[in-house]
């Protein structure tokens, strides 16, 4: 009878230093493909809309990518644990490349939206796989340094993307914003195929795939994300469509829970929820995603309306945040690798996030934009210390066999937080601005203008669209003392936007406080210097040992006794 086969060694234990660094470069290239495309495309949107004539479908260009990328994250993470990661990361890059090519060839908005869905699937697979492979390469202490480096890669792509997108759009056409991804993706494919070894047989079988659970999770995620995306736009939170989507999400989530409890190889093992540190880390990630991304995306409106800056300046105002995040992620990752302890770093990062958020609430009408930039640097430093660290923390508290699904869970909850924050703070912007404008607008304005013209001021950005604002301006100037009235009305808009932004960042600060409290409640588990970890939620059974002497009289062998759990 042959000797039992030993479990496969982690990838990081089979490669030398040079091979690891080559693979890190390959993974960074794959991550750069997806990250660069997102920031490049945002710059090209006005020209895309002009060419494809689809302004009413604009939201779907971003919504469909977000939905598609989020849906695939958890299933891919689990499947990569079962079958290895190489095939998935290659499939992700190839899918993203084909989606990019299709976007560049699109002749209508529906075609572009369909291609963006394909891009989103590829992007979700890339993000789910890249950070899991990083966990295969390095134990948590060493991994922290590279996690910061990968976050820096994403940040660099976000910083240079708008400039590249603007240059391509202005000089060779918006389609090249998508075509740009093709050669970079081909390079990433070549690097990964050459440098990422074939995974050892993990024992996964197609028959073991939880197809029902995957479908239920997909339906639940799509329903929730679309419901959140539509809630602050066309339909509203109380509409039948939105409530129906939320109800569907709840039903599919409950069914998903039942399915995962009964399936022998669940897509998302519910035992992970027994791991206290895993749960706390993901809740913190979701809170910071909601409070950060959800609030900051409304800053350009404040910069353009209340500060009177140009659209270019408002688009670049968050660049300092990316710079701060880049610096902090690399420095923080290096420090974390050396110490192996993360609590102080999380507390410092969370405090900087809170300080940056509260400073934004001090901004007033007409302040110089560099104030915003400075506050965003502080916020970025905090984010750079917290977000990469949380990725390492999540991986540190689970067994290596669940590394993929745990890594994907962090990405999933972060994206859900982003969407949730954007939806909630969108409602805050509309309601706070509307209440402040209605309270402070000149009384004569409502008396003299038709209801249709007056309703145009419900949108704080109306003055930024010259064609739309022309009839409004004409109607106000026709009123006695119209010039004075128009100036007073625009001043009221500026103040109302300021009030709305202050309310948004008050909510963001509240989420940052809750996140800080949860960091305090977390039990610090020093980062492991090996790949081994106990299974999540697993409590080792008590073991009684005695010692006895071997026949040779030299070796003391422990005797184990079974215990009832």
Give φ, ψ of 202 to 5 degrees.
-100, -5
Asked whether residue 29 carries a pLDDT value surpassing 50, the answer given is: yes
Position 555 pLDDT exceeds 80: no
- Percentage above 70 pLDDT, the chain: 87
Say yes or no to pLDDT of 556 above 80. no
Residue 96 CB neighbours (<10 A): 29
Mean pLDDT of 345-366: 92
Quote the pLDDT of residue 56.
67
pLDDT score of 116:
92
Angle (CA) 377 379 383, round 5°: 115
Distance CA 102, CA 79 (A): 27
What is the reported pLDDT for 504? 93
Average pLDDT over residues 272-292: 91
Residue 255, pLDDT above cutoff 60: yes
The answer on pLDDT for 6 being more than 60 is no
Yes or no: say if 115 and 102 are a contact pair by the CB < 8 Å rule.
yes
* Chain centroid offset of residue 492 CA: 35
The pLDDT of residue 510 is 95
Question: Which of 92-106, 188-202, 389-403, 411-425 bottoms out in mean pLDDT, i.e. has the lowest?
Answer: 188-202
Beta pairing class for 556-561 and 544-549:
antiparallel
Distance CA 412, CA 221 (A): 10
Residue 546 has pLDDT above 70, yes or no: no
Mean pLDDT of 149-173: 80
Q: In the prediction, which pLDDT does 532 show?
A: 64
Count CB neighbours of 529 within 10 A.
10
- Placement of tokens 């005797």 in the chain: 559
pLDDT given at position 400: 77
Write down all domains in the chain, each with its CATH number in brackets.
Answer: 269-529 (1.20.1250.20)
Cα distance between residue 543 and residue 279, in whole Å:
28
Per-residue buried b or exposed e for 419-428, using 16+ beta carbons within 10 Å of the residue's own CB = bbbbbbbbeb
**pLDDT at residue 444, as a whole number:** 79
- Mean pLDDT over residues 471-493, rounded? 84
Confidence (pLDDT) at 315: 61
Structure tokens at 407: 């890594």
Is pLDDT above 90 for 122? yes
State residue 201's pLDDT score: 56
Compute the average pLDDT of residues 548-562.
37
Q: Does 319 score more than 70 pLDDT?
A: yes
Mean pLDDT to the nearest integer, 410-425:
87
> Which has the higher per-residue pLDDT, 449 or 177?
177
Which residues have CB under 8 Å from 110's CB, separation 6+? 57
* pLDDT (0 to 100) of residue 306: 85
DSSP letter for each residue of 390-410: HHHHHHHTS-GGGHHHHHHHH
Terminal Cα distance for the chain, rounded: 32
* Predicted local confidence at residue 348, as pLDDT: 95
**Range in 74-88, 304-318, 354-368, 423-437 the model is least confident about:** 304-318
- Between 403 and 532, the more confident residue is 403
Select the highest-mean-pLDDT range: 96-110, 205-219, 260-274, 428-442: 96-110
Render pLDDT for 208-229 as a digit per residue (tens, 0 to 9): 778 888 899 889 988 888 888 7
Res. 316 pLDDT band, cuts 50 70 90: low
Q: What pLDDT is recorded for position 307? A: 84
289 vs 13, which has greater pLDDT?
289
């Amino acid at each position: 009878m042959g000797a039992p086969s030993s479990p496969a060694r982690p990838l990081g234990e089979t490669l030398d230093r040079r091979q690891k660094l080559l693979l890190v470069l390959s993974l960074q290239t794959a991550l750069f493909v997806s990250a660069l495309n997102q920031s490049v495309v945002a710059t090209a949107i006005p020209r895309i809309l002009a060419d494809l004539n689809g302004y009413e479908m604009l939201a779907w260009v971003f919504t469909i990518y977000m939905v598609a990328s989020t849906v695939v994250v958890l299933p891919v993470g689990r499947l990569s644990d079962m079958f290895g990661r190489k095939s998935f990361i290659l499939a992700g890059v190839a899918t993203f490349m084909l989606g990019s090519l299709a976007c560049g060839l699109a002749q209508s908005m529906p075609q572009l939206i369909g291609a963006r869905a394909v891009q989103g699937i590829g992007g979700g697979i890339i993000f789910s796989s890249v950070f899991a492979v990083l966990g295969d390469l390095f134990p948590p202490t060493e991994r922290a340094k590279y996690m910061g480096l990968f976050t820096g890669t994403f940040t660099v792509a976000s910083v240079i993307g708008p400039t590249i997108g603007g240059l391509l759009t202005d000089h060779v056409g918006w389609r090249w914003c998508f075509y740009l991804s093709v050669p970079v993706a081909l390079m990433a494919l070549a690097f990964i195929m050459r440098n990422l070894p074939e995974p050892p047989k993990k024992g996964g079988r197609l028959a073991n795939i939880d197809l029902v659970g995957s479908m239920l999770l997909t339906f639940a995620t799509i329903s929730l994300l679309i419901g959140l995306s539509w809630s602050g736009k066309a339909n509203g939170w109380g509409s039948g469509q939105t409530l129906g989507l939320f109800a569907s999400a709840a039903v599919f989530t409950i069914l998903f829970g039942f399915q995962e409890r009964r399936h022998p190889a669940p897509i998302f093992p519910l035992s992970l929820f027994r791991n206290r540190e895993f749960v706390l880390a993901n809740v913190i990630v979701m809170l910071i995603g909601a409070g950060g991304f959800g609030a900051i995306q409304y800053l350009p409106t404040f910069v353009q309306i209340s500060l009177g800056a140009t659209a270019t300046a408002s688009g670049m105002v968050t660049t300092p945040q990316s710079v701060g995040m880049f610096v902090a992620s690399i420095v923080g990752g290096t420090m974390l690798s050396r110490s192996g302890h993360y609590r102080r770093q999380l507390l410092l990062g969370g405090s900087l996030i809170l300080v940056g958020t509260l400073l934004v609430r001090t901004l007033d009408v007409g302040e110089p934009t560099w104030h915003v930039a400075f506050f965003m640097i502080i916020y970025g430093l905090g984010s750079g210390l917290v977000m990469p660290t949380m990725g390492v923390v999540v991986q540190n508290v689970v067994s290596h066999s669940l590394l993929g699904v745990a890594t994907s869970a962090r990405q999933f909850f972060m994206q859900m937080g982003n969407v949730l924050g954007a939806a909630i703070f969108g409602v805050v912007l509309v309601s706070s601005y509307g209440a402040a404008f209605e309270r402070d607008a000149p009384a004569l304005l409502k008396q003299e203008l038709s209801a249709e013209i007056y309703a145009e001021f419900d949108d704080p950005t109306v003055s930024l669209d010259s064609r739309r604002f022309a009839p409004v301006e004409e109607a106000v100037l026709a009123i006695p003392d119209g010039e004075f009235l128009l100036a007073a009305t625009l001043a009221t808009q500026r103040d109302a936007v300021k009030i709305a932004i202050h309310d948004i960042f008050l909510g963001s600060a509240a989420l940052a406080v809750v996140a800080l409290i949860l960091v305090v409640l977390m039990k610090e588990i020093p980062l492991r210097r090996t790949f081994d970890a106990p299974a999540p939620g697993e409590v080792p059974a008590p073991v009684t040992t005695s010692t006895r002497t071997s026949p040779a009289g030299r070796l003391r062998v422990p005797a184990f006794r079974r215990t009832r759990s």
